[in-house]
Structure 1
Amino acid sequence: MSQADPTPHKNELNTLVDHLFRKQYGKMVSVLTSIFGFQQIEAVEDIVQDTLLEAFNHWSYGSVPDNPEGWLMQVAKNKSLNYLKREKNKLRVYSDHAENTSSESRINQLFLDTEIEDSMLRMIFACCQPIISKEDQVAIILKTLCGFGSKEIASALLIGEEAVNKRIYRAKQQIIGENIQLQVPIGQELNQKLEVVCTSLYLLFNEGYNSDHPEHLIRKDLCLEAMRLCKLLTSHFRKSTKVHALMALMCFHVARFESRQDEKGAIIIFEEQDRSTWNKELIQSGFYYLSEAAKGEALSAFHIEASIAAQHCRAKDMDSTNWKFIHTLYEMLYEYKPTPVIKLNLAIISSKIHGLDMAIEQLLKLRNEKKLQRYYLLYATLGEFYRQKKQEKAAIENFTKALSLTSSGKAKSFLQEKIEMLKG
């Protein structure tokens, strides 16, 4: 491969490898699992991590290839061939995958783009097994296919890291113990598994859209990877209204990417966003997928969330937004998904209809919700409402509390600026 590009600065290299890790991790795990079988998932993850480490070391002292994704896949393929030659007898004991896929021509075929996509799809559904709890299924998908660390999964699920590690360990042991195969289910079993798959992609997208990363408010790579996988699902499951509703939701949110930060990367709150920068093509795509989602009789939480996002995209400005209808949609959403975060959103929308006092009263009650006690957006919202009521002391207290609960550098800067402005 051509080695045309000069070696980037170390920070740029870290960013590149992190981006490729997000984009390629699940693909490499999926195709290698097709070679070795699910029972060798630990070995597969070792090979993938070794490949990414080799990329970082090689590119640090040389230069980044013209096609870094292809470079990674080639290295992963070579490592898999070496591993098969070295461990062939052992692998034969555990599964017939090594026997069926050990030829170089067969492995080359598995690394074709179309096969990689099919491998991703099979891997997603293979993680969704009735013997594994839905919570553990989501954790193993986020870890194995999305490359999430324990901290990111804990943030996405609003649980502790120790609980996350237990879930992943439990799921892997059950997958290995039950000799689970990489197959896409059919019939009723498909519908049951599609629920968990959609939930996992939804959480992946959310982690990108409201990132807790120290440097990035928006992890575009995570959002786009979630969209890519969801688009893959819409191609394979054209009659699934739930998948189309999720795709619509993603389109509506990604359409607002450019308006959420200023030129320096600082946060722009929703009320102050320039709607002329919203991506009209993505909004049109969102309405297309939403219309496809409306063709069935089933209603899901994704339908309702996409409808809420659609209301914002339809409105010309804040004043023309149909807040009463959005509040009704959130009440419906709470019936489908009775979570503290939905309660938080209901309180925020209440401020538009019933005023700040009622909204603050609702938010104060939410401080007793265990899953929200370390959720910085609860306190940031309280701080903002108190600021609007000109209760500076209460606003500073809540902004300070929010500041202590987030690791996002952009969020910290935003909150610190609010505090200093109030003190000034």
Structure 2
Amino acid sequence: MSPQPSSADPGVSQLADHLFRHEAGKLVSILTGIFGIHRLQMAEDVVQEALVRALQTWPFYGIPANPAAWLMQTAKNLALDLVRRESSFQQKQPKIIEYVEQRLAGSDPHQEPMFDDEIKDDRLRLMFACCHPQLPQEAQTALALKVMCGFSPQEIASAFLTSEAAIAKRLTRARQKLQEDEVAFEIPAGVDLPARLDAVLQIIYLLFNEGYKASRGDCLIREELCHEAIRLASLLAEHPAGDQPRTHALLALMLLNGARLPARLDGEGEILRLEEQDRRRWDVRMIQRGILHLGQSAQGDQASEYHLQAGIAACHSLSPDAASTDWPQILRLYDHLLQLNRSPIIALNRAVALAKVEGPAKALAAVESILDRQPLDSYHLFHAVMGELEAQRHQYTTAAAHLRAALELTEMASERNLLTKRLHDLEHQPG
């Protein structure tokens, strides 16, 4: 009897998950660049099938020397098998195969030139294509996160503070609308690019956030997602259509927060809160780049949410230590931010700043006044914040109850360890 591959093989499973996260969007964008963006669904399907075949064959034959190249070759062959069935392919088969091989080798001497107002990066181009104006913006974002960033419905749901079922329906409806309305799924250029910029910026923002604090998995931080988001935003900022104040503001925000990545975990891989971090480990060059782009973002006459968030990040980044943090300025920035976006998450973050300035009682009252608190009930950080605020008021029993609720709502090992340690401290407080 031939041996059966072990589905529990941690090496293969972890590598496949990493490749799906890091390479799936890249593979889809390359394949749609080769076969046409109207074959987006085919590209998604063959990339998924390639990953399935990796899980089936690598336990038998070992992990290839270049796993990403193996996936690309497998996906390409699967795609070619599908398009061979089309009658138009039969007449041009040798030419198409030659073109595919040249594209994959990155050495196509006859590649069609692009104009200055076109998007040249495959992944960024497909993000703009996903953000079709006939789709609601939330559907655009969900579709791009799924297709280009490899997000699961669960992770997209976490980003939007909604249910996985709701996101699945949103994705289905988006695809149905594209099909039923026969929407041209094209790469926009010129004057059509700015109309889609806000949606693309939101996708990049959510991509960075998932890397900065993952919603699932064994690793709390996924630096490759943060760096990819910064790369995409940098490309946008250099493009005539993307060179906008809000693009520079988003880039500043990500650089200033990304500068703290080296200090966010201790030697054991456990999370460190901002006040616990060794600021000498913060990336000074990234902070300098962030401040530079924050300055460039001031050229416009309007402040976006990214401007205000970047301002908050700058307050932290420029403080030599936690005690020097300008919390009154951070609170003012949150006040302005809340005027632009009444998100309960922003209101919760504002309450943290308010506690630093006016004490925990005022902060708790502010939390109680949040109009749409229901999404926060299933958000573990809401209960973690409430626990800390109650602990500051010496209400240790209430604080411990909130931390237990937070523990029930997170599966991240690093966060669970931090909450467990804090809960242990509270349970041993007198009274």
Tell whether the structures are fold-level matches, with TM greater than 0.5: yes
How many Å apart are 1:99 and its aligned residue? Answer: 6.8
Using the TM superposition, name which of 208-217 and 158-167 deviates more.
Answer: 208-217
Equivalent residue, structure 2, for 1:4: none
Is the alpha carbon distance of 1:253 and 1:53 closer, same or farther for their aligned partners in structure 2, counting shifts above 3 Å?
same
In the alignment, which of 208, 213, 218 is matched to residue 216 of structure 2? 213
2:212 paired with 1:192? no
Contact 1:35–1:102 (Cα < 8 Å) also in 2: no
Distance 1:64 1:399 in 2: 42
- Extract unaligned runs of 5+ from structure 1: 1-8
1:168-187 mapped onto 2 (5 Å cutoff): 168-177=171-180, 178-187=182-191
Three-state SS of the structure 1 residue aligned to 2:121 is helix
In the alignment, which of 153, 157, 161 is matched to residue 160 of structure 2? 157
Distance 2:94 2:307 in 1: 41
Using the TM superposition, name which of 365-374 and 158-167 deviates more.
Answer: 365-374
2:299 paired with 1:295? yes
> What do residues 59-82 of structure 1 show as CA deviations (whole Å, max 9, x unaligned)?
333343443323322222222222
Contact 1:127–1:137 (Cα < 8 Å) also in 2: yes
Is the alpha carbon distance of 1:364 and 1:109 closer, same or farther for their aligned partners in structure 2, counting shifts above 3 Å?
same
Contact 1:348–1:359 (Cα < 8 Å) also in 2: yes
In the alignment, which of 97, 100, 109 is matched to residue 107 of structure 1? 100
1:57-96 mapped onto 2 (5 Å cutoff): 57-85=56-84, 87-89=85-87
Is the alpha carbon distance of 1:99 and 1:402 closer, same or farther for their aligned partners in structure 2, counting shifts above 3 Å?
farther
Three-state SS of the structure 2 residue aligned to 1:292 is helix
Contact 1:347–1:359 (Cα < 8 Å) also in 2: yes
Distance 2:14 2:214 in 1: 15
> What do residues 147-173 of structure 1 show as CA deviations (whole Å, max 9, x unaligned)?
111111100111111111111111112
Contact 2:130–2:185 (Cα < 8 Å) also in 1: no
Equivalent residue, structure 2, for 1:42: 41
Distance 1:61 1:235 in 2: 46
Is the alpha carbon distance of 1:100 and 1:357 closer, same or farther for their aligned partners in structure 2, counting shifts above 3 Å?
farther
Distance 1:385 1:276 in 2: 29
Distance 2:246 2:206 in 1: 15
Distance 1:78 1:368 in 2: 50
Normalised to the residue count of structure 2, the TM-score between the two structures is: 0.88
Distance 2:237 2:102 in 1: 24
Name the amino acid aligned to 1:41. L
Three-state SS of the structure 1 residue aligned to 2:401 is helix
Name the amino acid aligned to 1:31. I
Is the alpha carbon distance of 1:16 and 1:321 closer, same or farther for their aligned partners in structure 2, counting shifts above 3 Å?
same
Is the alpha carbon distance of 1:405 and 1:364 closer, same or farther for their aligned partners in structure 2, counting shifts above 3 Å?
farther
Greater relative CO, 1 or 2 (CA 8 Å, sep 6+): 1
How many Å apart are 1:314 and its aligned residue? Answer: 0.4
Equivalent residue, structure 2, for 1:328: 332
Contact 1:360–1:385 (Cα < 8 Å) also in 2: yes
Equivalent residue, structure 2, for 1:134: 137
How many Å apart are 1:117 and its aligned residue? Answer: 5.8
Contact 2:344–2:372 (Cα < 8 Å) also in 1: no
Equivalent residue, structure 1, for 2:247: 243
In the alignment, which of 353, 358, 362 is matched to residue 358 of structure 1? 362
Distance 2:208 2:51 in 1: 23
How many Å apart are 1:11 and its aligned residue? Answer: 2.2
Distance 1:243 1:68 in 2: 34
> What do residues 318-345 of structure 1 show as CA deviations (whole Å, max 9, x unaligned)?
2211111111111111222221111111
The share of aligned pairs that are identical, in percent, is: 37
Contact 1:27–1:120 (Cα < 8 Å) also in 2: yes
Normalised to the residue count of structure 1, the TM-score between the two structures is: 0.89
In the alignment, which of 140, 145, 167 is matched to residue 170 of structure 2? 167
Is the alpha carbon distance of 1:243 and 1:67 closer, same or farther for their aligned partners in structure 2, counting shifts above 3 Å?
farther
Equivalent residue, structure 2, for 1:3: none
Three-state SS of the structure 2 residue aligned to 1:217 is coil
2:229 paired with 1:231? no
Is the alpha carbon distance of 1:59 and 1:282 closer, same or farther for their aligned partners in structure 2, counting shifts above 3 Å?
farther
Contact 1:39–1:175 (Cα < 8 Å) also in 2: no
2:149 paired with 1:146? yes
Contact 1:35–1:101 (Cα < 8 Å) also in 2: no
> What do residues 221-243 of structure 1 show as CA deviations (whole Å, max 9, x unaligned)?
32223223223322334622222
How many Å apart are 1:124 and its aligned residue? Answer: 0.9
Is the alpha carbon distance of 1:62 and 1:42 closer, same or farther for their aligned partners in structure 2, counting shifts above 3 Å?
same
Distance 1:105 1:288 in 2: 45
Is the alpha carbon distance of 1:113 and 1:135 closer, same or farther for their aligned partners in structure 2, counting shifts above 3 Å?
farther
How many Å apart are 1:368 and its aligned residue? Answer: 5.7
Equivalent residue, structure 1, for 2:287: 283
2:365 paired with 1:372? no
2:330 paired with 1:317? no
Distance 1:337 1:392 in 2: 33
How many Å apart are 1:346 and its aligned residue? Answer: 0.9
> What do residues 344-366 of structure 1 show as CA deviations (whole Å, max 9, x unaligned)?
11110001111111112222344
Using the TM superposition, name which of 267-276 and 222-231 deviates more.
Answer: 222-231
Contact 1:214–1:408 (Cα < 8 Å) also in 2: yes
Distance 2:274 2:188 in 1: 40
Three-state SS of the structure 2 residue aligned to 1:400 is helix
Contact 1:311–1:322 (Cα < 8 Å) also in 2: yes
2:123 paired with 1:124? no
Distance 1:373 1:209 in 2: 22
Distance 1:102 1:365 in 2: 65
> What do residues 72-100 of structure 1 show as CA deviations (whole Å, max 9, x unaligned)?
22222222222221x223xx5xxx9x979
Using the TM superposition, name which of 101-110 and 373-382 deviates more.
Answer: 101-110
Distance 1:336 1:393 in 2: 36
